[in-house]
Amino acid sequence: MTWGGWSIEPPMAYVAIAAILYWVGGRDYSRGGRQPLRAASFAAGLATIVLALESPLDGYADQLFWAHMLQHVLLLTVAPPLILLGRPWPRMWLALPLRSRTTIGRALASARWAAPVRAVARPLPAWLLFNAAIVGWHIPGAYNATLQSSAIHDLEHITFYATALLFWAHALAVPPLRTMLDWPRRAAFVAGAMVAGWVLALVFALARHPLYAAYAHLAHRPGGLSALADQQLAAGMMWVPGSISFTIAFIYALYRWLEPQRERAAASAMTI
């Protein structure tokens, strides 16, 4: 169902359910001074998903590579950190009936479920899955398949979003989530993923011919762009907007890493 380029598709069900659970759970959640900011962050994350998947941007993604890359940037580096900064898990958990919480809790605590979840949620697997999703789905064969099948396209988006949640859970470590990474390793964790994105952007920018047949064979593109110019704009999308969240997280981790050293230096100076 569409109106002027906006649509209502299956992702809207996720957004609606998440919003309802967050709102209902918030009525019983402790109200601290930062609750409005967290709620605003969570709402902005859901709005980013809607913008990426239900707005006219989704329609342009079939015709313009750079629009498709912007869509990926929103799903990989904008929506997940905003949602995690909203600290949704306690609120959404409280929205569930007590019997459901008990059943889910027991299922998650069982060895059959807990071991695989813990294995995937560790920093190295989370980092590898995140970067493998980015690189793997941009292999020409896989990427062209997403443009030819809506089911494969949806799977791509689900993979991006799910692996991004795993990655940003360690990069941000917003309570109640935790990470085994100290601040130096967290800075390297974020920087490594950012560099991986840069390498892919360089491949797009330096290629002398269009890499994706689905875009190369289009007879017309909005704006009259050539396929190669479109691909170079896509490289810019990944290089610049795609680096913003990584850069913020890296600088923050670096600051927190150096902060204790600065405090110890100041304390030593005061004792002299």
CA distances from 230 to 84, 140, 212 (A): 32, 16, 11
Rounded CA separation 172/179 (Å): 9
Q: What angle do CA 5, 1, 12 make, to 5 degrees?
A: 90
> What is the arithmetic mean of pLDDT over 72-101?
90
Residue 207 confidence (pLDDT): 93
Alpha carbons within 13 angstroms on the beta-carbon side of residue 2 total 10
Mean pLDDT of all residues in the chain? 86
> Does residue 32 have a pLDDT over 60?
no
Residue 164 confidence (pLDDT): 97
- Sign of the four-CA dihedral 218, 11, 164, 136: negative
3-state class (DSSP) for residue 3: strand
pLDDT-derived band at 41 (thresholds 50, 70, 90) equals: very high
- Sign of the four-CA dihedral 55, 57, 63, 65: negative
> What is the arithmetic mean of pLDDT over 165-178?
91
Residue 266 confidence (pLDDT): 47
* Burial degree of 216 (CB within 10 A; 0-12, 13-18, 19+): middle
Q: Where are the domains of the chain?
A: 2-271
From 8-22, 55-69, 95-109, the region with the lowest mean pLDDT: 95-109
| Single-letter amino acid code for the residue at 186 | R
Residue 271 confidence (pLDDT): 44
> What is the arithmetic mean of pLDDT over 93-103?
81
* Burial degree of 198 (CB within 10 A; 0-12, 13-18, 19+): middle
> What is the arithmetic mean of pLDDT over 202-231?
90
Give percent of the chain above pLDDT 90: 57
> Does residue 176 have a pLDDT over 90?
no
Structure pTM?
0.87
When mean pLDDT is compared over 40-54, 115-129, 205-219, the highest value belongs to 40-54
Cβ contact 48:73 at 8 Å: no
Residue 35 confidence (pLDDT): 80
